[in-house]
Chains A and B, each alone.
Chain A
Amino acid sequence: MADDSLAAHRRDPIKSSVGNVAAQRRRQNAATVGKERRESLVRAKRLCRVGAPGDGDVPFEENDMMTDEEGFLLEDQTSSAVKELKSAVAYQGKGAMQKRVNALRELRRLLSKSEFPPVEAALKAGAIPLLVQCLSFGSPDEQLLEAAWCLTNIAAGKPEETKALLPALPLLIAHLGEKSSLPVAEQCAWALGNVAGEGEELRKVLLSQGALPPLARMMLPNKGSTVRTAAWALSNLIKGPDPKAATELIKVDGVLDAILRHLRKSDEELATEVAWVVVYLSALSNFTTGVLVKSDALQPLVERLATSNSLQLLIPVLRSLGNLVAGDSHTTSTVLIPGHEITDGVVKVLVKCLKSDHRVLKKEASWVLSNIAAGSIEHKQLIYSSEAVPLLLHLLSTAPFDIRKEVAYVLGNLCVAPAAGEGKPNLIKEHLVSLVQRGCLSGFIDLVRSADIEAARLGLQFTELVLRGMPNGDGPKLVEQEDGIDAMERYQFHENEDLRNMANGLVDKYFGEDYGVNE
């Protein structure tokens, strides 16, 4: 049976030489399964397709795209396999156990062969009750493993297929316990992760059946693929929107320690899945956010951002950092104090993300910066004088739209002081003048022209700052030079009344009758 060291290989699929041929065939058939494929890719569920080497199995074949004939054949084989399993389960004589394992193995192979396993056929043939029987207490590990594997893949597809696992849930949860062998526990966790990934309803069921504590405990060891799979399953289980599960998780003895430990020390793959758990812990409730901030979770997050180059890891780590900054005013006011080492560290890693090639990192790093820039004057000065500003200015004119919008938030926040009661916030003239001189205005006028309401509003608001705040009455001239008047005049026939009023108001106030007469 697979042991820990072999289990570590389980998640690495073996790429065979027929890979390219299969890829080609797949592309040819792409149109027909385009939508199905897209959906399966985007789901939070994962197929288990590779086992541990050395279990007597044939080498893994890439056989993703099948002809219709091959598909029908597979369905037939699956129905037969289920029938075979049925008789094996009923059989009481000599060699019964081996018979059952063989039948399960055959079914498992059929359910692992392709990207779209014959789940419907298996369900129709009555696989679930049989698999539940195979999960009974006292069954040998091999049997438990194969049964859980089958259930994993049945649950990896369409919603109604995942829901079919309901009868199996209590047993799957039971086999998460410390008495189970690690590969068995891991495979059960995987199946449960798929179920949790289906939706809120199933998550509620799992939580009510007590899935959380055993999964949480599986995260406590220092390493192993079991820890990783459990973390992934937990991230699906606590993702909400109900914050109850997240709150429950963080209270489990030893979990917070384990999470911080993994963030600090574990290999990148494991840290990635744990980081996703932190993403949800940091965003779902004030309580969990607060606990993380107070436990100094920022430090290992910053450390990872500084040292890692794995996009898979950086995304959840960055987002966790962002959530902690956004969700708790404490973070900016008591932890990220300008001048402290950690604050410099945060700015540095955010700059690193701005420099990266990856869209998500640039966008979310800008978001985090915008929240820090929404802090005190000292925070604004800190960011203003950092390496971030030249990068942001460049992104404002060159990056895709969603990044530009976040960048706009940063730059604008740098130009206004924290709100103090009623009335318009004061300008930070030094920042405004400098940024405008470095050419940011055209980027904002571009946003004024956008069809996105939020972006257009940002553009108009910044334009107002320029019109009001540039010294020597330079504002209107500068805005005009960037075709700002044209951009604002577009709003006369715009369907959004707020934007119309904003734009008209600015044009009326700053480009009225007297404008330009004394040229």
Chain B
Amino acid sequence: MAMVVDYKHDSSFPYWTSIRRRFDPDSPFFSSGNLERELLAKQVALDLTEDERNQLEKMIDNDARGVFCPIVGCGARLTSLEDFEDHYIARHTASCSVCSRVYPTSRLLSIHVSEAHDSFFQAKVARGYAMYECLVEGCDLKFKNYKGRQQHLVDKHKFPTSFEFFNKAHPSKKKRLKNQQKRRMHKKDEEASSKMEVENETIDGLVSAVSKLSTSDSSPSNISFGRRNARGLTFVPRSIHAPREKK
């Protein structure tokens, strides 16, 4: 691509700069126009239908552009860019039912749940067991404390120093989410589903209330909050179901 971005040596943000973008005539940027040229020139002679044309365009577009999921460790091939969002939601939004943090794989979520919400885990840590496992699948190393694992990720696996698995960057997130929900509730006039009465409830309370309604197996509750439109999956930690298969 013709885009040029200024990168400073102190790795500050590459700000938007308005520059002219030029493309060579054989650049992929022009390929859909080139295809259109040939189809138009030949379509009368070949009596192509609208359908055939659309199919052709799609086939050639997608052939030229193989998109792979960029989430670490996924590598799934996507049929088109438009499919990515669906794929992401299906595969990478494992949401913690307790604190609403979202992780891109069920494994990471499972690790989080143990580390953050399991007193048994904490007990073992206190007794000196190496409980904090490396986040990189296949590494299998375990550490006695969070910081040690963190250092390992940075040193061995080149994670950025700013990376935080248990992200404390926005501790008010819980509060933010509650406020967001409050705002939404006020807007919903007649939505008098009892499930939705959330005034003065903590999220934990909410979860336990809802989990009593749900009939699915295993605990903790498998309804996730914290994401707009509650698009979080019905997620079952520990027993790792593959989320619904999406092409």
Contact = CB atoms under 8 A, between A and B. Distances in A.
Interface of A: 13, 15, 19, 22-23, 27, 38, 41-44, 46-47, 49, 62, 64, 115, 239-241, 276, 279-280, 283-284, 311-312, 315-316, 319, 323, 325-327, 329, 332, 358-360, 363-364, 367, 370-371, 373-374, 380, 400-402, 409, 412-413, 415-416, 418-419, 424-425, 449-454, 457-458, 461-462, 464-465, 480, 483, 485-486, 489-490, 492-498, 500-502, 504-508, 511-513, 515-517, 519
Contacts of B172: 513, 515-517
Q: Which 9 pairs, one residue from A and one from B, show the smallest C-beta to C-beta distance?
A: A413-B18, A451-B84, A424-B15, A461-B16, A326-B22, A374-B18, A516-B172, A516-B176, A360-B33
Interface of A is mostly: helix
Interface stretch (B37-45, B191-199, B202-210, B213-221): B37-45
Interface stretch (B63-71, B115-123, B237-245): B63-71
15 contacts: A13-B45, A42-B38, A283-B23, A312-B41, A319-B30, A319-B33, A359-B32, A371-B21, A449-B85, A461-B16, A489-B167, A493-B71, A494-B72, A495-B72, A516-B179
Contacts of B59: 38
Contacts of A515: 170, 172, 176
B26 interface: yes
Contacts, number: 203
A62 B13 contact: no
Q: How large is the interface on B (under 10, 10 to 19, 20 to 34, 35 or more residues)?
A: 35 or more
Contacts of A402: 32
Contacts of B92: 490, 493
A321 B82 CA distance: 30
Given A490-B71, A495-B71, 16 more contacts: A23-B47, A46-B41, A240-B25, A241-B25, A241-B26, A284-B25, A363-B32, A401-B81, A425-B15, A452-B81, A490-B104, A495-B70, A508-B169, A511-B170, A515-B170, A516-B172
B129 interface: no
B71 A280 contact: no
A305 B3 CA distance: 27
A194 to B, nearest CB: 13
Interface string B135-167: 000000000000000000000000010110001
A241 B67 contact: no
A512 B84 CA distance: 29
A517 B173 CA distance: 9
A115 B81 CA distance: 34
Given A22-B47, A311-B40, A418-B18, A464 B32 contact: no
Nearest to A468: B15
Nearest to B48: A41
B17 interface: yes
Contact of A326 (B21, B36, B173, B227): B21
B16 A416 contact: yes
Contact of A374 (B5, B20, B41, B84): B20
Given A367-B21, A493-B104, A519-B175, A412 B16 contact: yes
A316 B40 CA distance: 12
Contacts of A512: 169-170
A46 B20 contact: no
Nearest to B65: A452
A19 B44 CA distance: 11
Contact of A409 (B13, B21, B72, B105): B21
Contacts of A453: 70
B21 A513 contact: no
A483 B169 contact: no
Nearest to B178: A519
A416 B17 CA distance: 7
Contact of B18 (A44, A360, A412, A516): A412
B85 to A, nearest CB: 6
Contacts of B104: 490, 492-493
B230 interface: no
B32 to A, nearest CB: 6
Interface string B62-105: 00000111111000001001101100100010000000001111
Contact of B11 (A49, A419, A501): A501
Given A42-B60, A327-B22, A454-B3, A502 B33 contact: no
Contact of B25 (A239, A497, A511, A513): A239
Contacts of B126: none
A160 B14 CA distance: 48
Most buried by A among B32, B47, B49, B105: B47
Contact of A241 (B24, B52, B102, B105): B24
B21 A483 contact: no
B49 to A, nearest CB: 7
